[in-house]
Amino acid sequence: MKRARCVLLPRISISRLPLIFYIILCSVPGIFSTKNVTLGSIQIFKTHEFLPRKPTIYFYCKGENKIILPDVKEKHFFYTFKGKESWQPLTELTDNKCKRCGLYEMDRIKSDDVFDEWELCLDDFIDGKSIHFKEKEFNATFICGQCRAGVVPVVDSGVTSSSKSGSVDKKMNVVLVIVISALVSAIAAAGTVGAHKYWQKRKREQDQARFLKLFEDGDDIEDELGLEQI
């Protein structure tokens, strides 16, 4: 029984390594995590409603739920949001994929009217902010604090602040990668030491068994010799 437990122990700790690695990665914000996109402000320049009725405007990404903007009713009014409203966030972005999203107005008679439809990508966010403007339709700012600053081409000194924060983010990421690598190395080293110890122990047991067997064989020989002497 005891022996069986010894065999199991190192195996379990090694098979848990990927799980531990995964948990570490998921608990680090910014790496592989999804990024919430909220609406910062919006101003609509027209409505598509024929009847004198308040419009129902919503944001929608392909394959997701419609997010109705309950307050946005008036043309040319500049609405600002804190990002914590009950209907926020609008959507989530992942690292490697853009989403097809748009701003629409519900229409009870014909199909819904489109303010605009576009690709919402991580790279659109500079310092966590992205402005989408369509002439005669609307002007909106989208906020995504967790989105990295996109690859900003350094043209003049005006963009130094954004590229600076980008390099800070990069430095953070490098530090995180180093920390994770160190952790993984430590776990791997512990696993190796465990396996080595286990191997040594087994070898010792085998040696002992062989030694005992040798003794028994020796006894047999002695017995035989003794018999022969008699």
Ligand X SMILES: *[C@@H]1O[C@H](CO)[C@@H](O)[C@H](O)[C@H]1NC(C)=O
Report angle CA 19, 21, 23 to the nearest 5 degrees: 70
- Interface stretch with ligand X, choices 57-65, 133-141, 160-168, 189-197 (CB under 6 A): 133-141
**Binder of ligand X out of 9, 20, 131, 178 (CB under 6 A):** 131
Sign of the CA dihedral running 135, 141, 146, 152: positive
Q: At what angle do helices 17-27 and 160-229 cross, to 10 degrees?
A: 160
- Least distance between ligand X and beta carbon 15 (Å): 53
The one among 33, 36, 141, 173 contacting ligand X by CB under 6 A: 141
Q: Rounded distance, CA 151 to CA 188, Å? A: 35
Q: Does 162 engage in binding with ligand X (CB under 6 A)? A: no
Q: Is 133 in the site for ligand X (CB under 6 A)?
A: yes
Could you tell me the smallest distance in angstroms from the CB atom of residue 136 to ligand X?
11
The residues near 126 (Cβ < 8 Å, ≥ 6 apart) are 149, 150, 152, 162
Interactions with ligand X, residue window 33-92 (CB under 6 A): 41
Minimum distance, C-beta of residue 81 to ligand X, in the bound complex (Å)? 12
Q: What is the DSSP string of 7-50?
A: HHHHHHHHHTHHHHHHHHHHHSTTSS--EEEEEEEEEES----S
How far apart are CB 113 and ligand X at their closest, in Å?
21
Q: Which residue, 77 or 133, has its beta carbon nearer to ligand X?
A: 133
List contacts with ligand X (CB under 6 A): 41, 131, 133, 139, 141
